[in-house]
């Protein structure tokens, strides 16, 4: 089984980031599992949603598939 591969579209609103993934065979022909995750950044003091930093957004763009 190969490592997970990021799939699908991910979007980042000011406080959320979502992404899809799948675990598949090395050649990508067989998918063993797939899913999505949503991350919400919270302000440490208020525990309210807070915008992601430009650095975080830039790191996320590096992980995108070329066709996403």
The whole-number pLDDT of residue 14 equals: 81
Q: For residue range 14-52, what is the model confidence (pLDDT) as tens digits?
A: 888 888 888 999 999 999 999 998 889 999 999 999 998
Among 14, 31, 11, 13, residue whose Cα is nearest residue 22: 31
Q: What share of the chain is helix, strand, coil (3-state, %, to 5)?
A: 15, 35, 50
Tell me how crowded residue 24 is: count the other CB atoms within 10 A of its CB: 19
- Average pLDDT over every residue of 48-66: 85
The whole-number pLDDT of residue 20 equals: 84
Cβ 6 vs Cβ 19: under 8 Å = yes
Rounded Cα distance, 68 and 64, in Å: 6
pLDDT surpasses 60 at 6: no
Domain definitions of the chain by residue range: 5-62
pLDDT surpasses 70 at 61: yes
């Amino acid at each position: 089984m190969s490592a997970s591969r990021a799939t699908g579209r991910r979007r980042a609103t000011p406080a959320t980031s979502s992404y899809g993934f799948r675990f598949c065979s090395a050649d990508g022909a067989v998918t063993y599992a797939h899913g999505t995750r949503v991350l919400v950044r919270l302000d440490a003091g208020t525990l309210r949603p807070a915008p992601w930093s430009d650095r975080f957004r830039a790191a996320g763009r590096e992980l995108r598939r070329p066709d996403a």
